[in-house]
Structure 1
Amino acid sequence: MPPLSGSLLRQRPFLLLVLARAVSVLGNGFARVALAFAVLGLPGTGPGALSLVLACQALPQLVFVLFGGVLADRMSRARLMVLADVAGAAAYTALAVLVLAGRAPLSALCALAVAAGTATALFAPAMEGIVVQVVPRERLQQANGTLRMATNTSLVLGLALSGVTVALVGAGWALALNAASFLVSALLTAALGTKGPPARGTSGWADLREGWREFAGRQWLWVVVAQFTVVVAALNAYLGVLGPLTAEEHAGGARAWSLLVAAQAVGTVAGAGAAARLRVRRPLLVAVLATFPYALPLVLLSMGAPLWTSACAMFACGVTGDVFAVLWSTTLQQRVPEAALSRVSSYDLFGSLAFAPLGLLLAGPVAGAVGTRAALAGCAAAMVLACAAALLSPQVRRLTAPPAAPAPVPQPPPVPTQQDASTEQDTSAQRHPG
């Protein structure tokens, strides 16, 4: 374990992890915008087709994430992350080729979206668990904040350039850049050198049940996950379908939407930096309170507010969202045993993503039936109600941060005794005979 003094970025394993995530997220910044407009640009497609493709990407994350958690607690987490990166690179390479060739049938896009979502399901639980293998527990909050600052800065660059790239050279090249970023991430992760756990004598099903007991035995954990079942569904509907549709209908298309998501990404950089240094007595209470601003951009867009006000709201949402993310990850890593951390994280992801495909599937048809602005208002109301409900849990309100590790007390040098002096004389005589 690296020493506590000095910057975490001086520790080679943590630096490699930061670089791998930064490169991968840079590519994802391109893909987030490119995939939406690649589908919308196909002949004869519309909101329903976009909902279908994005749901095909989200559904495997829900189906396979528990399997990913079991694997990550049974094998080298770094190796699993490399395999997932390679699979993601293959999926996005194929997507780029289809879009660049101008022959991208909807069925093929859906199949490749399933492959990309499966790779994410395998990657995410391993990523949550690997942090505790390269960072001392006393510095987990700083490490989580540093990781999110790096990845969010990369996301800002990716999102800021994605709209221009899509407009100038097309969505296919933006998807190709994402595929290349996966390969670079795989190479950097492979160099981490972390070891896997000892071989288990239990079955995968037994491991899954053990992970469930760890998850269900903590009220604060499943309450916040239940909150995010609703929040993530609404956010996915907004970020994946309703936001791009609103930009297309009322704000000028891909460039306007890129501005909004880039404003949120800039906010996440500021939020991660603040969260890395934030010291609060009740981290979960602060984290849940920080989720209420998620609804603000949706409210403003539903009201037809000027674009700059929505951009400011997205910035504020980014700041508070990363405060939540850093405090939540740190609480998980500090209070869940390392041997079960990836499985518990997989239940966290499973619960949070439970309604995400449904939100994506319904967003397009609902927007077509009642209008995008009414659909946005409904998503905002659902998020506010879910966040308020989480505060009803006593553990969420009262869980306190673990005490900080005391600084080591310097010990005075031992006073030599007569026996020590005799021993030193004997040793000196042996070193210099005669």
Structure 2
Amino acid sequence: MNPLREKPFRRFFLGQSISVTGGAATQIALCFAVLQITGSARDLSLVVSAQMIPTIALLLIGGGIGDRIGQALLLRVTHFGLGVTQGAMALCLLTKQPFGYLIALAFATGVLSAFAGPSLSGIVPQLVGPAGLQKANSLLASVRNAAMVLGPTLGGVLVSTIGGGWALVADSASFFVAGAMFCFVPVGDRPVLSDRKLFTELRQGWTYFRSSSWIWSMTAAFTVSGFLQMGAGQVLGLVLAKQTFGAEGWGVIISCRGAGQLIMSVLMIRVRVRRPLLVGQAVITLQAMPYLLLGLNAGVAAVAAASFVAGFGVTFASVAWDTSLHTYVPNAMMSRVVSYDQFGRSLAVPAGQLSIIPIADAFGTRHVMVATGVLFAVTMVAPLLLSSVRRVGTGDLDEAPDPAVAVPV
């Protein structure tokens, strides 16, 4: 089954592709635009924090609202809203408005992103049949991986050619186009939950989440891995690169990892396994190798090769995880469950970045990097100790409560 032959998914795929690419370009464009206008790293930190804090704080509520009113409707509202906020940011930069306006708009962008994130994933099983879910998630992963590689480059080119303000104008247009595409994604029939308060539905989502050991254990593992990757894998990796093979070598390593991820996302359109989480958690341990090699002072060629292979494992595990959620979690609960996964990963970003340098100062940079590799591998295989994780994909998985009765009403 080719999901792109399904008109609803094809429209969503186009909209999400535009949204993800625009969002990836925005980050670098906004950062350079702020530095062009103010020249202050402190101001840049304020803008980034103003956007990140509400995104993390409101993700769980965003998941609840997505399940309550429907993901398609929420995606339309949030993407048109993001088009407005990015356009307003562009206006502030081009007309040199007070810097406080930019912070307020960054905050609004973070709020809208929190509401959009869970729905971008939660809507997929409503658009594709069970047989096409892995292919659909592989296609979506291909776009995300391509945007991860090309988005920052596109943002940098826009900033250097037309300026940061006009780059944000282009990004604003991309969100409006994505929102227009989502308007053609049909809204499926949804159960009427208007008699329940939002807090009750959020509590119901929490009950379902904590009662599903395969979900909470995998979510915890990905949260820890995100902490390690954002801390040691990025911040500490840059420190070691500066001490050894320099920025050029580090760029080669990052590019090789991105290439591995992109290639695997394409291969996953064809590859199928019976126990996706079992295999996925085994192959994602390959990501430990670049950390170990960096800590052991290996050359750039060895680290780059390991990063390329690790990219295969990371993407395989990611597609397997998304497909498992979309297969086994009821549609009525989907955005709330997805929001817990996204909340853990989002929280891991600042936690890892802020804590890794003090840890490295205390124990030594290379020792911490080697320990990161070991801890990453252990964390990734730990969920496999649970039989519920190993059984995913076998058709023998029945441990979560019925979402309709998870919380008394």
Give the alignment's TM-score, normalised by structure 1.
0.76
Aligned partner (choices 395, 398, 401) of residue 394 of structure 2:
401
Aligned partner (choices 11, 14, 17) of residue 19 of structure 1:
14
Q: What residue is the counterpart of 1:136 in the other structure?
A: 129
Q: What residue is the counterpart of 1:338 in the other structure?
A: 331
Give the counterpart letter for 2:119 in structure 1: A
Q: What residue is the counterpart of 1:231 in the other structure?
A: 225
- What is the deviation of 1:175? 4.5
Single out whichever of 386-395 and 235-244 deviates more from structure 2.
235-244
Q: What residue is the counterpart of 2:316 in the other structure?
A: 323
Q: What residue is the counterpart of 1:7 in the other structure?
A: 2
Give the counterpart letter for 2:79 in structure 1: D
Q: In 2, Cα distance between the equivalents of 1:295 and 1:109?
A: 39
- What is the deviation of 1:339? 1.1
Q: In 1, Cα distance between the equivalents of 2:70 and 2:386?
A: 36
Q: In 2, Cα distance between the equivalents of 1:40 and 1:304?
A: 34
- What is the deviation of 1:126? 1.2
Residues 63, 247 of structure 1: alpha-carbon distance in 2 compared, 3 angstrom cutoff: same
Q: In 2, Cα distance between the equivalents of 1:40 and 1:308?
A: 34
Q: In 2, Cα distance between the equivalents of 1:86 and 1:367?
A: 43
- What is the deviation of 1:212? 1.6
Number of residue pairs aligned between Structure 1 and Structure 2:
394
Paired residues of 1:72 and 1:126 also in contact (CA < 8 A): yes
Aligned partner (choices 34, 41, 44) of residue 45 of structure 1:
41
- What is the deviation of 1:72? 1.0
**Counterparts of 1:176-187 in structure 2 under 5 Å?**
176-187=169-180
Deviations 1:284-337 (A, max 9, x none): 111212322334444455566555554444433332222111111111111111
Residues 262, 93 of structure 1: alpha-carbon distance in 2 compared, 3 angstrom cutoff: farther
Q: What residue is the counterpart of 1:417 in the other structure?
A: none
Q: In 2, Cα distance between the equivalents of 1:241 and 1:172?
A: 28
1:294 aligns to 2:287 (yes or no): yes
Give the counterpart letter for 1:278 in structure 2: V
Q: What residue is the counterpart of 2:68 in the other structure?
A: 74
Q: In 2, Cα distance between the equivalents of 1:258 and 1:394?
A: 40
Single out whichever of 347-356 and 267-276 deviates more from structure 2.
347-356
Deviations 1:98-118 (A, max 9, x none): 66678885x666554433332
Deviations 1:3-47 (A, max 9, x none): xxx63212221111111111122223323444555667764537x
| Partner SS, residue 339 of structure 2 | helix
Q: What residue is the counterpart of 1:421 in the other structure?
A: none
Q: What residue is the counterpart of 1:430 in the other structure?
A: none
Q: In 1, Cα distance between the equivalents of 2:12 and 2:386?
A: 35
Larger radius of gyration: 1
Q: In 1, Cα distance between the equivalents of 2:249 and 2:166?
A: 20
Identical aligned pairs, as a percentage? 34
Q: What residue is the counterpart of 1:275 in the other structure?
A: 268
Residues 30, 367 of structure 1: alpha-carbon distance in 2 compared, 3 angstrom cutoff: farther
Q: In 1, Cα distance between the equivalents of 2:31 and 2:367?
A: 21
1:28 aligns to 2:23 (yes or no): yes
| Partner SS, residue 188 of structure 2 | coil
Residues 213, 319 of structure 1: alpha-carbon distance in 2 compared, 3 angstrom cutoff: same
Paired residues of 1:220 and 1:393 also in contact (CA < 8 A): yes
Single out whichever of 168-177 and 349-358 deviates more from structure 2.
168-177
| Partner SS, residue 281 of structure 1 | coil
Q: Where does structure 2 lack aligned partners over 5 or more consecutive residues?
A: 397-409
Give the alignment's TM-score, normalised by structure 2.
0.80
Single out whichever of 122-131 and 233-242 deviates more from structure 2.
233-242
- What is the deviation of 1:343? 1.4
**Counterparts of 1:122-133 in structure 2 under 5 Å?**
122-133=115-126
